[in-house]
């Protein structure tokens, strides 16, 4: 850990006052994101923070001055617990009482407290980064009164077997909204020329280059070192980014045209992003397909942020109209969050590190041509918390391994390559696994030859990581939607499953025999409703329990999985609540009459 941390610039000593960042565009210049001074003009402007949370990764400390040895050990233990709660990241507010009152410290007291905090972090192999200094006014004007300061500090520690903290961000929005251009600017570190040059590196197919529209799902990475410096392809290749980053953000670019809506839904369901970044063009603003994407995100309960692109083409009055339009559409799809417009780095820090922030929806206006707002987006990505807590991750890693297959490839002299998300457990090289289900519902024994993560080789993959694996044999009938599972799990496929659904929209009503495309994790297949329990039909905004039958081949499903279904303009979502046994001998003879359906 010490060797890895030493790759980055050393943390300034506590006696040094952080300098404010004056660079216009941190994203393009790759200058470290340093602490910014935030001055409060009067005592009336001082606001209380929420009381210190008992759980989570935020800790308040009034001061840390010359603690005893026993007290220091207690503080280190407390920091370790906060880091576990924040998946390797913790926020310390120095100069703040447990009640949330900003009391502040003198410059000398703050210097000593930061030095103590740095020593605590070193004991755990962690690093410290001062995010913001808030200068409070003097209580009175008597001579000798000193300026009071409050500091917000980010503590970051990587797990002993982890090279970096991972966050997956899905990038969504309508076609021509600037999603691919934005990703090109972020990952390549060069501004766009106004004609879409930056997006060319994001396209995977010739027809995408010719049409200028994304039709497939692409992945790009951007890294940050321990102090927030952006690490992109200007620094080298993907391996260099992974080796020198303490935090990696995987940006998943989804197609925005309505023609490829099914691809977008499958990606959202299968890749399980931690956050969604909605990119909305300032011209023409909110569109119909953006509303479709927004409703999907709300249904899947994924945290969101909004980016308004092409700010160089709109006036301030026009921007206010867009904000009102977005707020109205959020309310229309049932999202009760309040837009929080970002106008400075202090706004980003306040939104991402102050509890509670569940009701705030960050909104950033930027331009890929002028660079306006890109530094705020970089700061936001740097401060995003991992999607799983330490407790949740540890629990998932204790389960038997389960790998969802989202992509399949065959490379000469290498063999079969599978790409996807490891949802449970741990996979190591040479591990024996089962691949399936095949067309007859069986699973084939295979062995994992090698593993790659972010295009670089690794020995182990853990729950929550997107990786690619190579197999030792070729498999007939290999397809997306299959899984790699442990032989100990005794996996079984199914044709029928019961789900509790909610119909978002249907022109008339969903009845028995209704056929639709279902999305369950990495599974996408046509299914038919064999039975609607307790009622005869389900109309818009109604709920019911139904029995689905998969039409093409059996699938490996799990109880509790989220389900999204759509057929034309009809759409809905729900949860899998029961799986019916798979009949190996003659699955085609199954029908709803010989299913033991529980109607309760």
Q: Are 421 and 406 in contact (CB under 8 A)?
A: yes
Q: Phi and psi for 269 in degrees, rounded to 5?
A: -75, -40
**354 class by beta-carbon count within 10 Å (0-12 exposed, 13-18 middle, 19+ buried):** middle
d(CA 190, CA 368): 9
Q: Are 120 and 82 in contact (CB under 8 A)?
A: no
Both tokens of residue 93? Answer: 């507010």
Q: Find the Cα–Cα–Cα–Cα dihedral 196, 201, 204, 208, rounded to 10°.
A: 10
CA atoms within 13 A on the CB side of 66: 2
d(CA 40, CA 20): 16
The CATH code belonging to domain 399-489 is 2.40.30.10
Query: Could you tell me which residues are beta bridge partners of residue 457?
Result: 452
**348 class by beta-carbon count within 10 Å (0-12 exposed, 13-18 middle, 19+ buried):** buried
> In which element (H, E) is residue 108 found?
helix 107-123
d(CA 87, CA 301): 20
d(CA 81, CA 90): 9
Both tokens of residue 302? Answer: 């994924």
Q: Are 437 and 555 in contact (CB under 8 A)?
A: yes
**In the CATH scheme, what architecture does the domain 496-594 have?**
Beta Barrel (2.40)
On the question of a common fold for 399-489 and 496-594, the answer reads yes
- The SS3 call for residue 8 is coil
Both tokens of residue 62? Answer: 């009034």
The CATH code belonging to domain 165-388 is 3.40.50.300
**129 class by beta-carbon count within 10 Å (0-12 exposed, 13-18 middle, 19+ buried):** buried
Region of 348 (left: φ > 0; alpha: ψ -120 to 50; beta: rest) is alpha
Q: Closest Cα to residue 272, out of 480, 88, 519?
A: 519
523-533 and 426-428 as β-strands: parallel, antiparallel, unpaired? unpaired
Q: Phi and psi for 202 in degrees, rounded to 5?
A: -90, -20
Q: Find the Cα–Cα–Cα–Cα dihedral 531, 534, 537, 539, rounded to 10°.
A: -130
338-341 and 360-365 as β-strands: parallel, antiparallel, unpaired? parallel
Q: Closest Cα to residue 220, out of 466, 518, 487?
A: 466
Per-domain residue ranges of the chain: 35-156, 165-388, 399-489, 496-594
Find where tokens 């689905």 sit: 548
Q: Which residues of 33-63 are buried (b: 16+ CB within 10 A; e: fewer)?
A: bbbbebebeeeeebeebeebeeebbbbbbbb
Question: What pLDDT score does 1 carry?
Answer: 34
Question: What pLDDT score does 30 carry?
Answer: 31
- The SS3 call for residue 526 is strand
- Tens place of pLDDT per residue across the chain (600 aa): 333 223 223 333 333 333 333 333 333 333 333 344 555 544 444 567 888 888 888 999 999 999 999 999 999 999 988 888 887 889 999 999 999 899 899 999 999 999 999 999 999 888 898 988 988 876 555 555 567 899 999 998 866 555 567 889 999 988 878 888 898 899 888 888 887 777 776 666 665 655 566 667 888 889 998 788 899 988 888 878 887 888 889 999 888 888 888 888 888 888 889 999 999 988 877 778 888 888 888 888 888 999 999 998 888 888 888 888 888 888 887 788 888 899 988 889 888 876 555 678 899 999 999 999 999 999 999 988 877 766 777 888 899 999 999 999 888 888 899 999 999 999 999 999 999 999 999 999 999 999 998 878 888 898 888 899 999 898 888 999 999 999 999 999 999 999 999 998 899 999 999 999 999 999 999 999 999 998 999 999 999 999 999 999 999 999 999 999 999 889 999 999 999 987 633 334 444 444 555 544
Question: What pLDDT score does 256 carry?
Answer: 80
Q: Find the Cα–Cα–Cα–Cα dihedral 25, 29, 30, 33, rounded to 10°.
A: -40
């Amino acid at each position: 850990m010490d060797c890895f941390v030493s790759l980055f610039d050393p943390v300034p000593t506590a006696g040094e006052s952080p300098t404010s960042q004056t660079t216009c565009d941190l994203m393009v210049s790759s200058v470290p994101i340093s602490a910014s001074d935030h001055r409060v003009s009067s005592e009336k402007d001082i606001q209380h923070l929420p009381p210190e949370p008992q759980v989570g990764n935020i800790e308040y400390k009034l001061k840390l001055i010359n603690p005893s040895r026993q007290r220091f050990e207690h503080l280190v233990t407390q920091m370790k617990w906060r880091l576990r709660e924040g998946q390797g990241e913790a926020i310390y507010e120095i100069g703040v009482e447990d009640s949330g009152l900003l009391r502040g410290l003198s410059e000398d007291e703050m210097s000593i407290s930061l030095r103590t905090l740095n020593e605590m972090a070193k004991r755990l192999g962690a690093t410290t980064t001062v995010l913001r200094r808030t200068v409070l006014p003097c209580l009175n004007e008597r001579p000798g009164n000193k300026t009071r300061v409050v500091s917000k500090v980010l503590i970051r520690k990587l797990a002993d077997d982890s090279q970096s903290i991972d966050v997956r961000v899905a990038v969504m929005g309508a076609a021509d909204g600037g999603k691919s251009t934005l990703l090109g600017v972020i990952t390549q570190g060069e501004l766009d020329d106004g004609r879409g040059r930056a997006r060319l590196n994001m396209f995977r197919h010739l027809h995408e280059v010719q049409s200028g529209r994304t039709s497939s799902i692409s992945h790009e990475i951007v890294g940050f070192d321990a102090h927030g410096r952006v690490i992109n392809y200007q620094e080298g290749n993907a391996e260099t980014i992974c080796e020198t980053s303490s935090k990696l953000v995987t940006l998943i670019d989804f197609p925005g045209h309505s023609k490829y809506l099914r691809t977008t839904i499958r990606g959202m369901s299968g890749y399980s992003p931690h956050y969604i970044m909605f990119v909305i063009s300032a011209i023409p603003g909110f569109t119909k397909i953006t509303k479709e994407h927004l409703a999907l995100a709300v249904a899947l309960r994924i945290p969101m942020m909004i980016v308004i692109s092409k700010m160089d083409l709109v006036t301030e009055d026009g921007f206010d109209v867009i904000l009102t339009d977005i707020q109205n559409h959020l309310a229309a799809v049932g999202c009760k969050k309040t837009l929080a417009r970002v106008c400075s780095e202090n706004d980003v820090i306040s939104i991402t590190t102050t509890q509670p922030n569940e009701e705030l929806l960050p909104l950033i206006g930027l331009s890929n041509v002028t660079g306006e707002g890109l530094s705020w987006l970089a700061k936001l990505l740097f401060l995003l918390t991992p999607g799983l807590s330490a407790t949740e991750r540890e629990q998932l890693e204790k389960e038997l391994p389960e790998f969802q297959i989202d992509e399949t490839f065959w490379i000469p002299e290498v063999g079969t390559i599978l790409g996807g998300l490891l949802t449970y457990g741990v996979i190591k090289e040479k591990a024996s696994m089962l691949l399936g289900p095949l067309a007859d519902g069986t699973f084939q024994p295979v062995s994992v030859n090698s593993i790659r993560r972010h295009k670089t080789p690794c020995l182990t993959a853990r729950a929550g990581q997107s990786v690619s694996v190579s197999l030792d044999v070729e498999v007939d009938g290999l397809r997306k939607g299959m899984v790699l599972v442990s032989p100990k799990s005794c996996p079984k496929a199914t044709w029928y499953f019961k789900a509790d659904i909610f119909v978002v929209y249907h022109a008339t009503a969903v009845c028995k025999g209704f056929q639709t495309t279902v999305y369950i994790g990495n599974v996408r297949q046509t299914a038919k409703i064999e039975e609607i329990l307790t009622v005869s039909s389900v109309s818009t905004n109604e709920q019911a329990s139904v029995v689905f039958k998969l039409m093409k081949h059996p699938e490996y499903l799990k109880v509790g999985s989220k389900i999204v279904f759509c057929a034309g303009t009809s759409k809905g979502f729900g949860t899998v609540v029961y799986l019916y046994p798979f009949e190996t001998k003659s699955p085609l003879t199954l029908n709803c009459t010989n299913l033991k359906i529980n109607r309760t």
